[in-house]
Structure 1
Amino acid sequence: MALTREQVVETAVDLLRRYGLGDLSMRRLARELGVAPGAIYWHVDSKQELIVEVAAVLWEQVPAPSLHLPAGEAVVGYTRALRAALVTVPDGADVVALAHAVDPLAVPALNALYGAVARLVPVASDGAAVVELIVHHLLGSVAAAQTRRQAGLVGRCGEGCTCDALFDAGLGVILAGVQAGSAAAWTPATT
C-alpha cells in the first residue's frame, strides 16, 4: 500500500503521544512507517510543516466554539476544551507553540479561537492581542501541568488550588481586562 500524508501525520501523532517531541524525528517516523526517511518528504516538506499538521490533529476533536452562548462563555468553554485536549499529550504545548510560531493561522482550532474572540472584541488588533494572550496562558498552563506531572506533583498548583482552577482564574483575569477596556488603551513605556 502506498504511503499517504494522513498516515505520516497519524503516525507522528502516535509517536508524540507515546514518547514525546524528543522522539519525533523524521528518521524515527520513517522507521515506524517502514520507509526510507526521504519518503516522508514526498508528503510533508519539512519537520515544521509536520508539526503544524500534528498540532491541528491534536485539537481536531474539540468542538467549535458555540455561537449560541454569550461570547465570553464561548471563549472560556472553548479554551478549556483546548487545554483539556492538550494537557495529556507529552510536549503538546511545545508542538502547538511551534505550530503557532510557524503559521498562527494554519491550526484550525486557533482560527476558531480568533473567531470566538472576535465576537468578544470587535477591533481586529485588540482581538489579535487577546488571542495571543489566551494562547500564551493556555500553552503555559499545559506546560506547567506537564512539568508538575513529571515531577510527581500531579494536580496541585499551590496552596489549596488545582491546576484547572488556577487556569480558570488566569483566564478570568484576561477576560475581565478585555471587558474593562481596549487593549490599545494602555501601551507599555519604551526604554
Structure 2
Amino acid sequence: MALTREQVVDAAVGVLAGFGLADLSMRRLARELDVQVGALYWHVKNKQELLVDVAARLLGGIEHLPDAAATPREAVTSLATAIRAALAPVPDSAEVVQLAQTMQPAALEPLTWLRELLEEAGVAPQRSAWARHLLLNHILGSVAAQQDRSRLEAVGGTGGPDLGTDAFAWGVETILDGLGI
C-alpha cells in the first residue's frame, strides 16, 4: 500500500503523543512507518510543514458551533477551553501550535474562529489579532505549565503551584474583562 500524507501526519501525531517533540524527527517517523526518510518528503516539504499539519490535526476535533443562546463572552470562553482541552493531553502540543500559528495561522481554523468571535464580541478588527494573540498565549502557556508540572511529578519532583483548570478559567475571565467583553 502506498504511503499517504494522512499516514505521515497520523504517525507524527503518534510520536508526539507518545514521546514528545524532541523525539519527533523525520528519521524516527520513517522508522515508525517502515519507509526511507526520502519517502516522507514526497508528502511534506520539511519538518516545519509537517508540524503545521500536526497542529491542525490536534485542533481538528474542535467544533465551531457556539450555542445559539451563548453570549459572545461564553462563546470565546468555550472555544478557549476547547483548544486547551484538545492540547493538554499531548506533550509539547503548545510548542507545536505556537510554531504552526507563526508559520501558517490560516491552517489552524479554531484560531481563526477565536479572532472572529472576539470581533463579534466587540473587539475592534484592528485589535482582534492582538486580543487573539493574548488569549492564545494564555491558552498555550497554561497547557505548557500543566505538562511541565506533570513531567516533574512523574520523576518525583514538585511542580510548584497547580495552575490547572481553575487558574486557566480565571485567566480567561481576566483577559475578557480587560477587553471589555
When the two structures are superposed, what TM-score results if normalisation uses the length of structure 1?
0.87
Q: Residue 117 of structure 2 corresponds to which residue in structure 1?
A: 116
Q: Residue 8 of structure 1 corresponds to which residue in structure 2?
A: 8
More moved, 104-113 vs 34-43:
104-113
Kept after mapping to 2: 8 A contact 1:157/1:166: no
After superposition, the CA RMSD in angstroms is 1.8
Offset, 1:65: 4.5
Kept after mapping to 1: 8 A contact 2:52/2:97: yes
Kept after mapping to 2: 8 A contact 1:86/1:93: yes
Q: Which runs of 5+ in 1 are unaligned?
A: 181-191
Query: What secondary structure, in the 3-state scheme, does the structure 1 residue paired with 2:105 have?
Result: coil
- Provide the rounded CA distance (Å) in 2 between the counterparts of 1:47 and 1:14: 15
Q: Residue 33 of structure 2 corresponds to which residue in structure 1?
A: 33
- Provide the rounded CA distance (Å) in 2 between the counterparts of 1:118 and 1:14: 35
Are 1:146 and 2:147 matched, yes or no? yes
Offset, 1:67: 5.5
C-alpha offsets along residues 94-138 of structure 1, whole Å, 9 cap, x if unaligned?
111111111222211211212221211352121111100000000
What amino acid does structure 2 have at the position aligned with 1:73?
A: E
Higher relative contact order (CA 8 A, sep 6+): 2
Moved over 3 A (4+): none
- Identity of paired residues, percent? 44
- Provide the rounded CA distance (Å) in 1 between the counterparts of 2:180 and 2:104: 28
Alignment of 1:132-171 (within 5 A): 132-152=133-153, 158=161, 163-171=164-172
When the two structures are superposed, what TM-score results if normalisation uses the length of structure 2?
0.91
Q: Residue 22 of structure 2 corresponds to which residue in structure 1?
A: 22
Kept after mapping to 1: 8 A contact 2:142/2:163: no
Alignment of 1:31-180 (within 5 A): 31-66=31-66, 68=68, 69-152=70-153, 158=161, 163-179=164-180
Query: What secondary structure, in the 3-state scheme, does the structure 1 residue paired with 2:100 have?
Result: helix
Offset, 1:151: 1.2
Offset, 1:162: 5.3
- Provide the rounded CA distance (Å) in 2 between the counterparts of 1:109 and 1:50: 18
How many residue pairs align between the two structures? 177
Offset, 1:61: 1.1
Kept after mapping to 1: 8 A contact 2:146/2:163: no
* CA gap 1:169/1:27 in 2 versus in 1, 3 angstroms: same
What amino acid does structure 1 have at the position aligned with 2:113?
A: A
Query: What secondary structure, in the 3-state scheme, does the structure 2 residue paired with 1:138 have?
Result: helix
